[in-house]
């Protein structure tokens, strides 16, 4: 090998060694920074590097008709501690043990969940375990508590040294507690999106748009530089009146608890506008516990005898009956619409057999057989004809409702016309929501004009209405003025005919829907339901011991201002169920207090003293 070749090899060797030494130095520096100087550079990055942050938009409020807050957003934070933070575990936990006493003291003063000694014991235990996500408080803390905690000497050092950090939590407060809670709705804690009720329906309007900001270290302090401003959510103005809501809620809860029922539902609608002034749902959740779980107001059920008014309106509108027409019940306490085929079509009555009723008195006494015979005969055993007549009344129309998941009526002509049309006559083989029923009866009270049930009147931004919603007419007239007048007479008798009316005065002389303060007209309804404990679907599930009871009516009868429905599911013994006594009395109490609230008279619980204002 020549000298020139040797020199070349040496030069390459020297260059390689220099590169290798440089590479080792770089690796060593990286290791040194990642271990010894890690906290130093993390802190430098935290304070010096500009970071982009989301500026959350403030969710809009939900208001009642008088501008009172029903739902509003408040800042809340979950507070955690990473006990394995590098600065805390360094030098055998020198920093932790130096400040654990002051941190425990401040936690006991600010959060008040435990004593100083208990906090110190818990903090020390979690530090030894090396918990990277130890929650310092079970629930969220508010903004003031966070600012107080930030003044702690350890927390002041920042999250990389103290290990203490916060996570924003979306929390919605309801100043009126559970009043109309299912209708107002709620939000998901993680995302802040509405998950039920008006919160879900008006998610886009309430949420707003998040902004973007950049955090920079300027003059030794952090500054948020706004890149794009957040657009706060708009407010939703509802038709609810929380004073009336309180009246309805208390009356319903009292009755559901008294009867130990499965659930109850009440709706109070303003007659001329269709505005829903109150809506309440009560569910039994345990042996003696009740709360609002489902919005039964918009869920379909068999309406029972409240549907007889629909049947009567359809027949009268078609000119097939008058109030003075007569119908005879059978000499036996049951009746078959088809004498040749008596399977599955037996209709029974709890009234005297072999009686002749006028159509008017048949509604007052609520005779199943009378209405089954009338509808079957007048519509030639055809459910298709009957359903077409119901269609003219507007009750089958698909009406928009602001509550997500609201169901539309199920009133369809069945295959077995003869059997089913007779059942449809008095509220079986059909399904409607309490909201649909109250809309129909409100149309009668409103002289035939059917109004859409409304829950929202405006979308508001900075105190000004961006969108407003006016009362909406579903049908200008469900039937002729003569028919409406006759229906009002028949519904009057249900409450005020003391011999026949199912909501009048019972044999113990206790008033049902009758009131000395306000005149009410309406209709009772009872529907047999399945035994809630039944595991299989069979005929034996309907043992005749479980019922859904209802009263729906309007008041004051001479000049209706409100329509109200009360529905109770499966009232329990000791005494028997009675739609007039249970639901009728509930509506009576609501009507009396509602009219007192509007200024008609002074209402005193127990005395029911009438005093004109």
Per-position DSSP letters for 217-247, written without gaps between them: EETTEEEEEEEE--BPPPEEEES--HHHHHH
Least confident of 465-469, 472-476, 509-513: 509-513
Would you state the pLDDT for residue 580? 95
Is 48's pLDDT higher than 70? Answer: no
More reliable by pLDDT, 5 or 596: 596
Q: Return the HEC string of 315-366.
A: HHHCCCCCCCCEEECCCCCEECCCCCCCCCCCEECCCCCCCEEEHHHHHHHC
CB-hemisphere CA count at 13 Å for 205? 20
Give CA–CA dist 294/279, Å, rounded. Answer: 12
- In order of 488, 559, 591, 599, 606, the CA distances from 520 in angstroms are 11, 10, 8, 18, 19
Q: Are strands 263-270 and 562-569 parallel, antiparallel or unpaired?
A: antiparallel
> What percentage of the chain reaches a pLDDT higher than 90?
55
Question: How much is the mean pLDDT over the chain?
Answer: 87
Mean pLDDT for 110-139 is 90
Would you state the pLDDT for residue 549? 96
Give CA–CA dist 112/142, Å, rounded. Answer: 13
| Residue that the structure tokens 């130990």 belong to | 260
Q: Are strands 211-218 and 221-228 parallel, antiparallel or unpaired?
A: antiparallel
Q: Please, which pLDDT band fits residue 611 given cuts at 50, 70 and 90?
A: low
More reliable by pLDDT, 271 or 137: 271
Is 407's pLDDT higher than 90? Answer: yes
Q: Please, which pLDDT band fits residue 220 given cuts at 50, 70 and 90?
A: very low
Is 142's pLDDT higher than 90? Answer: no
* Burial degree of 14 (CB within 10 A; 0-12, 13-18, 19+): exposed
Tokens of 241: 């009146």
Would you state the pLDDT for residue 205? 95
Helix, coil or strand: residue 517: coil
Would you state the pLDDT for residue 613? 44
The H-assigned helical ranges of 460-575 are 481-496
Domains of the chain, earliest start first: 83-162 (no CATH), 242-534+541-597 (3.40.710.10)
Would you state the pLDDT for residue 342? 56
* Burial degree of 248 (CB within 10 A; 0-12, 13-18, 19+): buried
State residue 349 phi and psi, 5-degree precision: -135, 150
Q: pTM of the predicted model, to two decimals?
A: 0.80
Q: Please, which pLDDT band fits residue 335 given cuts at 50, 70 and 90?
A: low
Give CA–CA dist 40/37, Å, rounded. Answer: 5
Tokens of 516: 């000395």
Would you state the pLDDT for residue 538? 55
State residue 243 phi and psi, 5-degree precision: -70, -45
DSSP category for residue 286:
S
Is 40's pLDDT higher than 50? Answer: yes
Give CA–CA dist 242/197, Å, rounded. Answer: 17
């Amino acid at each position: 090998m020549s000298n020139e070749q040797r020199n070349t090899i040496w030069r390459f060797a020297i260059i390689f060694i220099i590169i290798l030494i440089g590479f080792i130095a770089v690796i060593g520096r990286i290791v040194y920074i990642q271990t010894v100087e890690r906290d130093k550079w993390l802190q430098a990055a935290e304070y010096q590097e500009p970071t982009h942050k989301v500026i959350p938009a403030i969710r809009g409020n939900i208001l009642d008709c008088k501008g009172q807050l029903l739902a509003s957003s408040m800042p809340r934070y979950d507070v955690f501690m990473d006990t394995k933070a590098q600065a805390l575990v360094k030098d055998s936990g020198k920093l932790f043990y130096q400040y654990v006493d002051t941190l425990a003291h401040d936690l006991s003063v600010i959060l008040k969940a435990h004593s100083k000694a208990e906090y110190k014991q818990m903090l020390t235990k979690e530090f030894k375990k090396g918990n990277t996500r130890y929650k310092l408080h079970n629930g969220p803390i508010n903004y003031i508590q966070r600012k107080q905690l930030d003044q702690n000497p350890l927390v002041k050092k920042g999250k990389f040294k103290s290990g203490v950090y916060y996570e924003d939590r979306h929390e919605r407060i309801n100043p009126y507690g559970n009043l109309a809670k299912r209708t107002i709705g709620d939000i998901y804690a993680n995302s802040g999106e509405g998950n039920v009720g008006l919160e879900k329906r008006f998610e886009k309007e309430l949420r707003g748009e998040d902004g973007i900001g950049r955090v920079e270290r300027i003059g030794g302090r952090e500054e948020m530089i706004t890149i794009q401003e957040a657009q706060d959510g708009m407010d939703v103005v509802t038709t609810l009146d929380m004073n009336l809501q309180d009246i309805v809620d208390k009356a319903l809860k009292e009755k559901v608890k008294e009867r130990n029922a499965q659930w109850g539902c009440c709706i109070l609608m303003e007659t001329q506008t269709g505005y829903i002034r109150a809506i309440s749902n009560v569910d039994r959740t345990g042996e003696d516990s009740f709360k609002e779980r489902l919005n039964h107001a918009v869920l379909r059920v068999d309406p029972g005898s409240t549907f007889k008014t629909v049947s009567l309106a359809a027949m009268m509108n078609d000119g097939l009956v008058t109030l003075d027409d007569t119908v005879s019940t059978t000499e036996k306490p049951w009746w078959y619409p088809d004498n040749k085929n008596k399977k599955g079509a037996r209709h029974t009555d709890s009234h005297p057999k072999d009686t002749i009723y006028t159509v008017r008195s048949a509604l007052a006494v609520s005779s199943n057989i009378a209405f089954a015979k009338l509808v079957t005969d007048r519509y030639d055993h055809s459910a298709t004809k009957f359903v077409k007549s119901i269609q003219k009344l507007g009750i089958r129309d698909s009406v928009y409702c602001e509550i997500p998941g609201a169901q539309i009526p199920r009133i369809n002509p069945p295959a077995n016309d003869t059997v089913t049309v007779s059942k449809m006559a008095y509220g079986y083989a059909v399904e409607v929501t309490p909201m649909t029923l109250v809309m129909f009866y409100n149309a009668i009270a409103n002289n035939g004009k059917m109004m859409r049930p409304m829950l929202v009147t405006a979308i508001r931004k900075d105190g000004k209405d961006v969108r407003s919603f006016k009362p909406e007419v579903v049908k200008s007239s469900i039937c002729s003025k003569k028919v409406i007048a006759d229906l009002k007479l028949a519904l009057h008798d249900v409450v005020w005919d003391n011999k026949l009316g199912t909501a009048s005065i019972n044999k113990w002389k206790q008033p049902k829907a009758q009131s000395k303060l306000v005149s009410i007209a309406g209709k009772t309804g009872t529907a047999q339901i399945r035994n809630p404990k039944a595991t299989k679907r069979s005929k034996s599930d309907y043992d005749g011991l479980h019922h859904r009871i209802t009263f729906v009516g309007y008041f004051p009868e001479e000049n209706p201002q409100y329509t109200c429905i009360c529905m109770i599911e499966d009232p329990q013994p000791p005494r028997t169920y009675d739609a007039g006594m249970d639901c009728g009395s509930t509506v009576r109490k609501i009507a009396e207090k509602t009219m007192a609230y509007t200024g008609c008279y002074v209402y005193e619980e127990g005395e029911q003293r009438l005093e004109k204002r």
